[in-house]
Amino acid sequence: MKNNPDDDSLATAYEKMLERAVARFHSAEEKTGQLLHKWIDESRDKAIELKELSEEDAEKLSLYLKRDLSDAANYLSETGNELKDWLGFETLLMEGLFFEQLFKAANKTTLELLQIQEYTQQAAVYTTGEIMGLGTLACDQCDEKLHFHKAGRIPPCPKCHTTTFHRDIASS
Protein backbone atom coordinates (compact mmCIF):
# COMPACT_ATOMS: atom_id res chain seq x y z
CA MET A 1 0.00 0.00 0.00
CA LYS A 2 1.37 3.38 -0.97
CA ASN A 3 1.14 6.25 1.52
CA ASN A 4 -0.01 9.64 0.38
CA PRO A 5 2.04 12.74 1.28
CA ASP A 6 -0.37 13.71 4.06
CA ASP A 7 0.17 10.32 5.74
CA ASP A 8 3.94 10.81 5.58
CA SER A 9 3.74 14.31 7.06
CA LEU A 10 1.51 13.11 9.92
CA ALA A 11 3.85 10.21 10.62
CA THR A 12 6.80 12.63 10.66
CA ALA A 13 4.86 14.97 12.98
CA TYR A 14 4.10 12.03 15.30
CA GLU A 15 7.82 11.25 15.52
CA LYS A 16 8.67 14.94 16.10
CA MET A 17 6.12 15.16 18.93
CA LEU A 18 7.65 12.06 20.53
CA GLU A 19 11.14 13.51 20.17
CA ARG A 20 10.14 16.80 21.83
CA ALA A 21 8.33 15.12 24.72
CA VAL A 22 11.11 12.61 25.39
CA ALA A 23 13.76 15.34 25.37
CA ARG A 24 11.87 17.18 28.12
CA PHE A 25 11.24 13.93 29.98
CA HIS A 26 14.91 12.99 30.16
CA SER A 27 16.04 16.42 31.25
CA ALA A 28 13.59 16.41 34.18
CA GLU A 29 14.53 15.39 37.68
CA GLU A 30 11.08 14.06 38.46
CA LYS A 31 9.71 11.53 35.97
CA THR A 32 6.01 10.71 36.15
CA GLY A 33 3.40 9.58 33.69
CA GLN A 34 1.47 12.77 34.35
CA LEU A 35 4.48 14.89 33.40
CA LEU A 36 5.15 12.86 30.27
CA HIS A 37 1.55 13.41 29.21
CA LYS A 38 1.92 17.12 29.97
CA TRP A 39 5.01 17.29 27.75
CA ILE A 40 3.19 15.47 24.98
CA ASP A 41 0.49 18.15 25.27
CA GLU A 42 3.16 20.88 25.17
CA SER A 43 4.68 19.22 22.12
CA ARG A 44 1.20 19.26 20.55
CA ASP A 45 0.89 22.98 21.31
CA LYS A 46 4.35 23.65 19.86
CA ALA A 47 3.40 21.88 16.61
CA ILE A 48 0.32 24.10 16.38
CA GLU A 49 2.31 27.24 17.21
CA LEU A 50 4.89 26.44 14.54
CA LYS A 51 2.07 25.66 12.09
CA GLU A 52 3.41 22.14 11.62
CA LEU A 53 -0.09 20.76 12.23
CA SER A 54 -3.68 21.89 12.46
CA GLU A 55 -5.20 21.87 15.94
CA GLU A 56 -7.31 18.85 15.00
CA ASP A 57 -4.36 16.82 13.68
CA ALA A 58 -2.15 17.81 16.62
CA GLU A 59 -4.81 16.70 19.10
CA LYS A 60 -5.25 13.35 17.36
CA LEU A 61 -1.50 12.72 17.23
CA SER A 62 -1.06 13.54 20.92
CA LEU A 63 -3.78 11.00 21.77
CA TYR A 64 -2.19 8.37 19.52
CA LEU A 65 1.21 9.01 21.10
CA LYS A 66 -0.17 8.71 24.63
CA ARG A 67 -1.96 5.51 23.62
CA ASP A 68 1.21 3.96 22.15
CA LEU A 69 3.46 4.92 25.08
CA SER A 70 0.90 3.76 27.61
CA ASP A 71 0.46 0.49 25.77
CA ALA A 72 4.23 -0.06 25.76
CA ALA A 73 4.52 0.93 29.42
CA ASN A 74 1.75 -1.41 30.45
CA TYR A 75 3.23 -4.32 28.50
CA LEU A 76 6.77 -3.82 29.82
CA SER A 77 5.71 -3.34 33.43
CA GLU A 78 3.35 -6.34 33.43
CA THR A 79 5.54 -8.84 31.56
CA GLY A 80 9.14 -7.79 32.18
CA ASN A 81 9.77 -8.63 28.51
CA GLU A 82 11.72 -6.50 26.08
CA LEU A 83 10.40 -3.71 23.87
CA LYS A 84 11.10 -5.80 20.75
CA ASP A 85 8.53 -8.34 22.02
CA TRP A 86 5.92 -5.58 22.30
CA LEU A 87 6.76 -4.36 18.80
CA GLY A 88 6.24 -7.81 17.33
CA PHE A 89 9.31 -7.79 15.07
CA GLU A 90 13.09 -7.66 15.26
CA THR A 91 14.37 -4.20 16.18
CA LEU A 92 17.71 -4.62 14.37
CA LEU A 93 15.90 -3.76 11.13
CA MET A 94 14.79 -0.39 12.41
CA GLU A 95 16.36 2.97 11.87
CA GLY A 96 17.88 4.24 15.08
CA LEU A 97 16.47 7.60 16.12
CA PHE A 98 12.76 6.84 16.36
CA PHE A 99 13.32 3.51 18.11
CA GLU A 100 15.73 5.18 20.53
CA GLN A 101 13.13 7.83 21.37
CA LEU A 102 10.43 5.23 21.93
CA PHE A 103 12.76 3.11 24.05
CA LYS A 104 13.78 6.11 26.17
CA ALA A 105 10.12 6.86 26.84
CA ALA A 106 9.17 3.27 27.66
CA ASN A 107 12.18 1.40 29.04
CA LYS A 108 11.71 -0.71 32.16
CA THR A 109 13.75 1.51 34.50
CA THR A 110 11.74 4.52 33.44
CA LEU A 111 8.52 2.57 33.85
CA GLU A 112 9.24 1.85 37.47
CA LEU A 113 9.30 5.62 38.00
CA LEU A 114 6.39 6.48 35.74
CA GLN A 115 3.51 4.28 36.90
CA ILE A 116 1.59 5.19 33.77
CA GLN A 117 -1.83 3.84 34.56
CA GLU A 118 -4.48 6.36 33.49
CA TYR A 119 -4.53 5.17 29.87
CA THR A 120 -3.70 1.51 30.41
CA GLN A 121 -6.75 0.19 32.22
CA GLN A 122 -8.50 -0.71 28.98
CA ALA A 123 -7.15 -2.60 26.00
CA ALA A 124 -5.95 -0.23 23.32
CA VAL A 125 -8.08 -0.21 20.18
CA TYR A 126 -6.41 0.87 16.95
CA THR A 127 -8.64 2.11 14.12
CA THR A 128 -8.11 2.67 10.39
CA GLY A 129 -7.07 6.25 9.74
CA GLU A 130 -5.21 6.73 13.01
CA ILE A 131 -1.44 7.20 13.12
CA MET A 132 0.42 4.28 14.65
CA GLY A 133 3.95 4.34 15.98
CA LEU A 134 6.07 1.19 15.85
CA GLY A 135 4.85 -2.35 16.19
CA THR A 136 2.54 -4.99 14.83
CA LEU A 137 -1.25 -4.84 14.77
CA ALA A 138 -3.60 -7.78 14.28
CA CYS A 139 -7.00 -7.41 12.65
CA ASP A 140 -9.81 -7.94 15.16
CA GLN A 141 -11.80 -9.83 12.50
CA CYS A 142 -9.31 -12.13 10.72
CA ASP A 143 -6.04 -11.72 12.69
CA GLU A 144 -4.13 -10.46 9.59
CA LYS A 145 -0.88 -8.77 10.73
CA LEU A 146 0.17 -5.20 9.86
CA HIS A 147 3.81 -4.35 10.64
CA PHE A 148 4.84 -0.74 11.28
CA HIS A 149 8.61 -0.22 11.13
CA LYS A 150 8.04 3.54 11.33
CA ALA A 151 5.09 5.72 12.20
CA GLY A 152 2.29 5.62 9.66
CA ARG A 153 -1.46 5.74 9.05
CA ILE A 154 -3.37 2.54 9.80
CA PRO A 155 -5.00 1.20 6.62
CA PRO A 156 -8.07 -1.04 6.47
CA CYS A 157 -7.21 -4.72 6.80
CA PRO A 158 -5.71 -5.85 3.48
CA LYS A 159 -7.39 -9.25 3.86
CA CYS A 160 -10.95 -8.56 5.10
CA HIS A 161 -11.15 -4.74 4.94
CA THR A 162 -12.34 -4.26 8.53
CA THR A 163 -11.09 -1.24 10.44
CA THR A 164 -10.28 -2.24 14.04
CA PHE A 165 -7.07 -3.80 15.31
CA HIS A 166 -5.26 -4.73 18.50
CA ARG A 167 -1.54 -4.85 19.19
CA ASP A 168 -0.03 -8.21 18.34
CA ILE A 169 2.47 -9.07 21.06
CA ALA A 170 5.25 -11.52 20.14
CA SER A 171 5.33 -14.66 22.21
CA SER A 172 8.34 -15.04 24.41
Q: Which candidate, 44, 32, 23, 11, places its Cα nearest to that of 115?
A: 32
Instruction: Give me the residue spans of the domains in the chain.
Output: 5-167
35-93: pLDDT as tens digits: 778 888 999 999 999 999 999 999 999 999 888 877 777 777 677 666 666 666 555 44
pLDDT of residue 106: 55
| DSSP code, position 169 | P
Q: How far apart are the first and last CA of the chain?
A: 30
Report how far residue 84's alpha carbon sits from residue 107's, in angstroms, rounded to the nearest whole number. Answer: 11
pLDDT at 3 over 70: no
Sign of the alpha-carbon dihedral angle for 54, 130, 151, 125: positive
pLDDT of residue 18: 85
Burial class (CB in 10 A: 0-12, 13-18, 19+), 42: middle
Alpha helices in the chain (DSSP H): 5-27, 33-49, 55-79, 83-87, 96-106, 108-114
**Mean pLDDT, residues 140-168:** 93
Contact assessment for residue 87 and residue 169, using Cβ atoms and an 8 Å cutoff:
no
Contact assessment for residue 32 and residue 24, using Cβ atoms and an 8 Å cutoff:
no
* pTM to 2 decimal places: 0.66
